[in-house]
Amino acid sequence: MEEIQPGIFRKNSSIYTEADSGESVYGEKFITENNQKYRKWDPNRSKAGAAVMKDVNLGIKRDSEILYLGAASGTTVSHFSDTVTEGFIYAVEYSETVIRDLLEVAEDRENIAPILGNARKPQNYSEIVEKCDIVFQDISQSDQAEIFTRNCEKYMKEDGTGLLAVKAKSISTSEEPEKIFDDVREKIEEYFEILAETTLEPYEKDHLLLKLKKKE
Query: DSSP letters along 44-72, please?
Result: TS-HHHHHHHTT------TT-EEEEES-T
Query: Which helix (H) or strand (E) covers residue 79, if one does?
Result: helix 75-83
Mean pLDDT check: name the lowest of 80-94, 150-164, 172-186. 172-186
pLDDT band for 172, please (50, 70, 90 cuts): confident
Q: Residue 191's pLDDT is what?
A: 93
**Which DSSP symbol is given to 192?**
E
pLDDT for res 23: 78
Q: Are 54 and 197 in contact (CB under 8 A)?
A: no
The fold of 42-214 is: Rossmann fold (3.40.50)
pLDDT of residue 127: 92
Neighbours of 63 (CB within 10 A): 12
pLDDT of residue 21 exceeding 80, the answer is no
Distances (CA, A) of 111 to 62, 93, 94, 141: 12, 16, 20, 27
CB 161 within 8 A of CB 6: no
Residue 146 phi/psi, 5° resolution?
Answer: -65, -40
153: confidence class by pLDDT, cuts 50, 70, 90: very high
pTM of the model: 0.94
As a 3-state breakdown, the chain gives helix, strand, coil percent values, each rounded to 5, of 25, 35, 40
Short-list 59, 43, 46, 35, CA closest to 10: 43
pLDDT confidence band for 164 (50 / 70 / 90): very high
The answer to whether residue 11 scores a pLDDT higher than 90 is yes
The residue count of the chain comes to 216
pLDDT digits (tens, 9 = 90+) for 104-124: 999 989 999 999 999 999 999
Nearest to 155 by CA among 185, 179, 125: 125
Closest CA to 135 of 68, 72, 193, 199: 68
- Helix (H) / strand (E) containing 169: helix 168-171
Instruction: State how far Cα 17 lies from the chain centre.
Output: 14
Q: Note the Cα 112 to chain centre separation in Å.
A: 13
pLDDT, tens digit, for every residue of 63-103?
A: 999 999 999 999 999 999 999 999 999 999 999 999 999 99
| Three-state secondary structure call for residue 77 | helix
